[in-house]
Amino acid sequence: MAVADGDTITVLDDLKQQHKIRLMGIDAPEKKQAYGQRSKDSLSELVYMKYVDVTWSKHDRYGRIVGHVKLEGADICLEQIKRGMAWHYKQYQREQVEGDRSLYGASESAARELKVGLWHDETPIEPSSFRRYIFSN
């Protein structure tokens, strides 16, 4: 398994085929953004060289599988939010089941309130805003 950043991993299936997985429901800081490396390190700590379960139903515009990643029943996407290493990706929340949508939102609010991880910064910049700025310049 490889970890590209705080919301993207590459896994091997039982046939040793690689699949790039974009973690569903979260948006982590970009590599060149504040907390980008910390978010990647957090995800690595959670899943690197471990067996994960991926539930998915679509590919994104880059061909990655958008998946709900679990390790021994623990929701890895949610864990990144709780650690303050990702935002709840509200732009795509309609694709989540209601329970996840509520839990992810509440977990982001709790991390913000406790100033965990990226919420320690005064004005963290959402990755989607950062990407728009970078690609427009």
For residue range 24-54, what is the model confidence (pLDDT) as tens digits? 999 999 999 999 999 999 999 999 999 999 9
Percent of the chain exceeding pLDDT 70 equals 97
- How do 18-23 and 2-5 pair as beta strands? unpaired
Report pLDDT digits (tens) over 61-90.
Answer: 999 999 999 999 999 999 999 999 999 999
SS3 of the chain: helix, strand, coil, percent, to 5? 40, 25, 35
Model confidence over 82-136: pLDDT tens digits? 999 999 999 999 999 999 999 999 999 999 999 999 999 999 999 988 888 766 6
Task: Dump strand ranges (E) for 17-64.
Answer: 18-23, 26-27, 53-59
Check residue 135 and give its pLDDT: 62
Q: Answer yes or no: are the C-beta atoms of 68 and 22 closer than 8 Å.
A: no
Rounded to two decimals, what is the model's pTM? Answer: 0.94
CA–CA dist 132, 134 (Å, integer): 6
Please determine, for residue 3, whether its predicted confidence score (pLDDT) is greater than 90: yes
Q: How confident is the model at residue 137 (pLDDT cuts 50, 70, 90)?
A: low
Q: Which residues are catalytic?
A: 22, 30, 64
pLDDT at site 68: 96
